[in-house]
Structure 1
Amino acid sequence: MNQLKEFYGILKHAFRNLLPIIAVVAFFQFVVMQEVPEGMMSMVLGLGIVVLGVALFLQGLELGIFPIGKNISNEFAKRGSLPLLMVFGFCLGFAAVIAEPALIAVADQAEVISEGRVNAFTLRLLVAGSVGAVVALGVVRIILGHSLHWYMIIGYIIVVAVTFFSPEEIVGLAYDSGGVTTNIVTVPLIAALGIGLAVSLRGRNALTHGFGLVALAVMVPMITVQLYGIMVYTFGETGDVAANGLQMEAETEGVADPVAGSVLLGMLTDLGLMVRDVLPIIGVILIFQYLVIRKRIAHLHKVVAGFVLVIVGLYAFVVGLKLGLFPIGERMAEQLIALEGFFWLYLFAFTIGFATTMAEPALIAIGDKAEEAAKGKLKGNVIRLLVAAGVAIGITIGVHRIITGDSIHYYIMAGYTLVILLTWLSPKYIVALAFDLGGVTTSEVTVPLVTALGIGLATHIEGRSVIIDGFGLIAFASIFPIITVMLYAIAVERIAKARGVQT
């Protein structure tokens, strides 16, 4: 009975989180376009399914993913075995990314764009290996108690330097590949590993040391993919690539393509594919739990139920998005480009960026965990508002870049130069969380809508290239939340010091 009440509370919370998206869509459809959208009932049904999916997902996190991540961290911390922890971190990071559908889509696009110079499977191995390596490195950082400042400052200096030399065909895709490594399941799991480890070690702080693994998992693939791009564009040759075009396959397909003439069978097949994507993570957990730690999983039925709820909730969430929001979003983007001037397009970019981020399930989960770890210093709702504002600003600037046709190099280098400066000036407690929040924004809601917007603009604006201009909006959606969160922390600290002096 208590669990039902708790779920009902989560359901109401999920509906409130989706209200900004509903408001944005309604405003542009009825006030700007002044027409009733086609498939209105389908959209309403889709939004209802999204609400249910988010609620199931969040319930599953609390039942299964967060407890298992913390328990394994606690066990390894008790054993004091650094090599084991590093191996576990690497395997978890690698398994979480190698089967990621968004990464597979980006890798396939990279192969087409590069005319065969970039090999899709090699790219996936590089990104997954990078994430595994940095999760292992992040575990060492937590154990040694190092501040994340220097890791991020040095890392992003390298990012900016490598970007300067990268071919323009690879820059947008490289940043997008860094963004898609952090999805709706892996972010909470990796965060749970870091927080659990920090809590288990004496002298470590959950907020300062527990966060940061997601940030590293976003940053390093940007470097490795660009280095790979420099190499293949310098020494590689074009190859035979199937002319399948640039399509956001996962986003443009129907809710469920029929299998053997059956829509129900198609839905079950899609659900099976989602289970397949999570299987590498489950495999790593089971191997380390039973063969290395050699202990049964506590409350196994709850953990299993949690993973089932996460998978079902995620599937319902994606189905709801496809059914309710993607079709109308695509039509509105085309209609807005056709309007005279670009004011409404800028406004749409800002508001849809804000609304989708507020509805991001991974951000809701991490915001709650950050509030818990901060012990009064931060509020989950404030974090979400700051991140949503950052994404909105970033996407608007990214849309402006596509409209003007400017090179992405200078925007990215300027953005991360500002991030490096703010990292130097920010209070230490906020740095790891700020960078993690930059990674959380590029998840299941934001990535499809933002990518579709970028490709749509590059396709319909004369003189723009889908290859060079259509990608990279995800990078802007990642950079600016880091900036807004750090600026907020700096401002709060300065105000607090000023009041202290006055009193």
Structure 2
Amino acid sequence: MEKLREKVRESLSSVLPITIIVLLLSIVLIPMEVGAFTLFLAGALFLIFGMGFFQLGADISMTQLGQGIGGQLMKKRNLLFIIGGCFLMGVLITISEPDLQVLANQVASIPNQVLVLTVAIGVGCFLVAAVLRILFKVSLSRLLTLMYVVLFLVALATPSEFLAVAFDSGGVTTGPMTVPFIMALGIGLSSSRSDKDSANDSFGLIALSSIGPILMVLLLGIFYHPTDAVYTSVTIPDVETTKDVLDQFIRAFPQYTEEVLISMLPILAVFMLFQIKTRKYHRRQLLRMCVGFLYTIAGLVLFLVGVNIGFAPVGNLLGEQMVSSSYQWLLIPVGLLIGYYIVKAEPAVQILNHQVEDITDGMVTKEQMNLCLSVGVAGAVGLAMFRVLTGIPIYWILIPGYLLALGMSYRVQPILVGIAFDSGGVASGPMTSTFLLPLTMGACTALGGNVVTDAFGVVALVALAPLIAIQIMGLVYEHKLKKSSGIPKPALEDTIIELEDEEV
């Protein structure tokens, strides 16, 4: 129960800043009906407990399963078996990713299942590429450069209207379900190697796995036409009493429970087959993991109900009302404020900050990391809101941003390159797809803009910011080392190995 309370507190810290900002806006500038705000508060409550249950369940079940499968794949020493296993697990884990489900509901031009399956195949293919990189010790910086060159070449042949949706797909894929599993799989694979580069190679799987969905959705854009879709304004049901609010959520439970069970069944089947074949987990571990899967399912249902009934619709409504008033340029400072606090509230970001402080031996502190990431993500969200108001093409931001990030990757130490590119998926957490994207869609609809080109892209920009921010911190670290006379430069990979030994 203590672990559950800890996860719920972490979820509360993620949701609370957004709730307070919405409350202040509804009181001071954008009046909101009591019924709509009650739905929002109820959705926030569902979100808090849903994320708490889900994250605890993922820690107990998915992390253990990922490490077990990673270790078992390496034991087989069969390349085809490793490729097939990684592809299958990448596909299955992505299908159950809650952030992807939320995005799929908001892309009107493509059937949900088509988009989810396309993204899942992309993750599966590029997870295989990431694992092969570990096995054959390929430089992460060179591979990332090659992949992004291919990505932007394909983008030239894809309708420009689909660019923002594709890059958003890459951002939401590496969410609370996918990240723990892929990280655990990487640890299981790299731990089978005893060389000094094995710690470095445990990073970078998420970075490469997030490229796959972008590439596959760009290819999908050649066949689907997003501009043909009609995006209608979100209507919030009339609710007069707390019973009416509760009824809205209760009526949604059967639909989302069915969706979650369908998406989780393949993972449960793999878990059962893996246990029957390997007998890896003893009875107590098995019982604990089964409880973890129950937590995961319950958390996913609560999460999706809270998002779709209360949280996202009010975000959409707020965006519409803000630009319909005389305060439409207030959208940019509100975006800056939300971006600043969203990244601070992400539990995974705080873990990342501690990790960077440890591997740089305190020369880059977690406070510096917090400030750098908060400013970076705030700027990214501000740019997204500026795009909504002006309609500037997203590639004017993405191409220079990725060129800068890839250029810096040849200057900073390899371990920080892996952490920086992995952290893009960490920063674009649940709050980005559940509130920021609906906010931009509502604003864009009210302005009469093109939702596909102008509203989508906020997740992609949030995912890009840490790539630059963390590598800037890496360059600061290198500069401090040069200025510190008489202090030997610590090898980051050695520090990582020492830290892992201490944890063991």
Are 1:283 and 2:269 matched, yes or no? yes
Can you list the C-alpha shifts for 1:248-292, whole angstroms capped at 9, x where unaligned? 99x98999xx9xx9964641442232122222223333334434x
Q: Distance in 1 between matches of 2:458 and 2:322?
A: 18
The residue number in structure 1 matching 2:84 is: 87
List runs of 5+ in structure 1 lacking aligned partners.
none
Alpha-carbon distance change, 500 to 335 in structure 1, aligned in 2, over 3 angstroms: farther
Query: Residue 387 of structure 1 contacts residue 437 of structure 1 at CA under 8 Å; is this kept in 2?
Result: no
Are 1:355 and 2:331 matched, yes or no? no
Query: Residue 95 of structure 1 contacts residue 284 of structure 1 at CA under 8 Å; is this kept in 2?
Result: no
Q: Distance in 2 between matches of 1:290 and 1:327?
A: 44
The residue number in structure 1 matching 2:215 is: 223
Alpha-carbon distance change, 500 to 27 in structure 1, aligned in 2, over 3 angstroms: farther
Aligned residues: 480
Query: Residue 93 of structure 1 contacts residue 135 of structure 1 at CA under 8 Å; is this kept in 2?
Result: yes
Alpha-carbon distance change, 8 to 405 in structure 1, aligned in 2, over 3 angstroms: closer
* CA apart distance, 1:300: 0.2
Are 1:486 and 2:483 matched, yes or no? no
The residue number in structure 1 matching 2:177 is: 185
Q: Distance in 1 between matches of 2:7 and 2:104?
A: 36
Query: Residue 353 of structure 2 contacts residue 370 of structure 2 at CA under 8 Å; is this kept in 1?
Result: no
Are 1:202 and 2:194 matched, yes or no? yes
SS in 1 for 2:230: coil
Q: Which amino acid aligns with 2:78?
A: S
The residue number in structure 2 matching 1:73 is: 70
What TM-score comes out, normalization by structure 1 length? Answer: 0.81
Which among 404, 417, 438 is matched to residue 431 of structure 1?
417
More divergent stretch after superposition (5-14 vs 35-44): 35-44
Query: Residue 207 of structure 1 contacts residue 433 of structure 1 at CA under 8 Å; is this kept in 2?
Result: no
* CA apart distance, 1:301: 0.4
Alpha-carbon distance change, 63 to 122 in structure 1, aligned in 2, over 3 angstroms: closer
Query: Residue 370 of structure 1 contacts residue 433 of structure 1 at CA under 8 Å; is this kept in 2?
Result: no
SS in 2 for 1:424: coil
Q: Which amino acid aligns with 2:77?
A: G
Are 1:170 and 2:170 matched, yes or no? no
Alpha-carbon distance change, 158 to 351 in structure 1, aligned in 2, over 3 angstroms: same
More divergent stretch after superposition (183-192 vs 464-473): 464-473
Q: Which amino acid aligns with 2:174?
A: T
Q: Distance in 2 between matches of 1:160 and 1:262?
A: 43
The residue number in structure 2 matching 1:28 is: 25
* CA apart distance, 1:327: 4.3
Are 1:410 and 2:396 matched, yes or no? yes
Q: Distance in 2 between matches of 1:35 and 1:271?
A: 30
Query: Residue 187 of structure 1 contacts residue 362 of structure 1 at CA under 8 Å; is this kept in 2?
Result: no
Query: Residue 386 of structure 1 contacts residue 484 of structure 1 at CA under 8 Å; is this kept in 2?
Result: yes
Alpha-carbon distance change, 124 to 6 in structure 1, aligned in 2, over 3 angstroms: closer
Alpha-carbon distance change, 105 to 46 in structure 1, aligned in 2, over 3 angstroms: closer
Q: Distance in 1 between matches of 2:43 and 2:366?
A: 27
Q: Distance in 1 between matches of 2:269 and 2:368?
A: 36
Can you list the C-alpha shifts for 1:17-68, whole angstroms capped at 9, x where unaligned? 4442234223333344477855555544444443333332332233222122
Q: Structure 2 matches for 1:94-243, cutoff 5 A?
A: 94-98=91-95, 103=100, 113=109, 124-203=116-195, 208-230=200-222, 232=223
Can you list the C-alpha shifts for 1:49-94, whole angstroms capped at 9, x where unaligned? 4333333233223322212211222233334333322221110111
List runs of 5+ in structure 2 lacking aligned partners.
489-504
SS in 1 for 2:377: helix
SS in 2 for 1:421: helix
The residue number in structure 1 matching 2:453 is: 468
Which among 443, 449, 452 is matched to residue 457 of structure 1?
443
RMSD across aligned C-alpha pairs, in angstroms? Answer: 3.8
Alpha-carbon distance change, 484 to 213 in structure 1, aligned in 2, over 3 angstroms: same
More divergent stretch after superposition (384-393 vs 129-138): 384-393
Query: Residue 423 of structure 2 contacts residue 466 of structure 2 at CA under 8 Å; is this kept in 1?
Result: yes
Can you list the C-alpha shifts for 1:190-241, whole angstroms capped at 9, x where unaligned? 12111222233212557521122221121133223324434x48xxxx89x9
Alpha-carbon distance change, 147 to 374 in structure 1, aligned in 2, over 3 angstroms: farther
Which among 349, 352, 361 is matched to residue 367 of structure 1?
352
More divergent stretch after superposition (33-42 vs 471-480): 33-42
* CA apart distance, 1:135: 0.8
The residue number in structure 2 matching 1:444 is: 430
Q: Distance in 2 between matches of 1:304 and 1:368?
A: 31
Q: Distance in 2 between matches of 1:340 and 1:362?
A: 38
What TM-score comes out, normalization by structure 2 length? Answer: 0.81
The residue number in structure 1 matching 2:502 is: none
Alpha-carbon distance change, 407 to 304 in structure 1, aligned in 2, over 3 angstroms: same
Can you list the C-alpha shifts for 1:301-355, whole angstroms capped at 9, x where unaligned? 0111112112222333344445654344333322321343544210111222333
The residue number in structure 2 matching 1:62 is: 59
Q: Which amino acid aligns with 1:160?
A: F
Are 1:401 and 2:398 matched, yes or no? no
Q: Which amino acid aligns with 1:340?
A: S
Q: Distance in 2 between matches of 1:153 and 1:134?
A: 14
Are 1:313 and 2:310 matched, yes or no? no
Query: Residue 155 of structure 2 contacts residue 163 of structure 2 at CA under 8 Å; is this kept in 1?
Result: yes
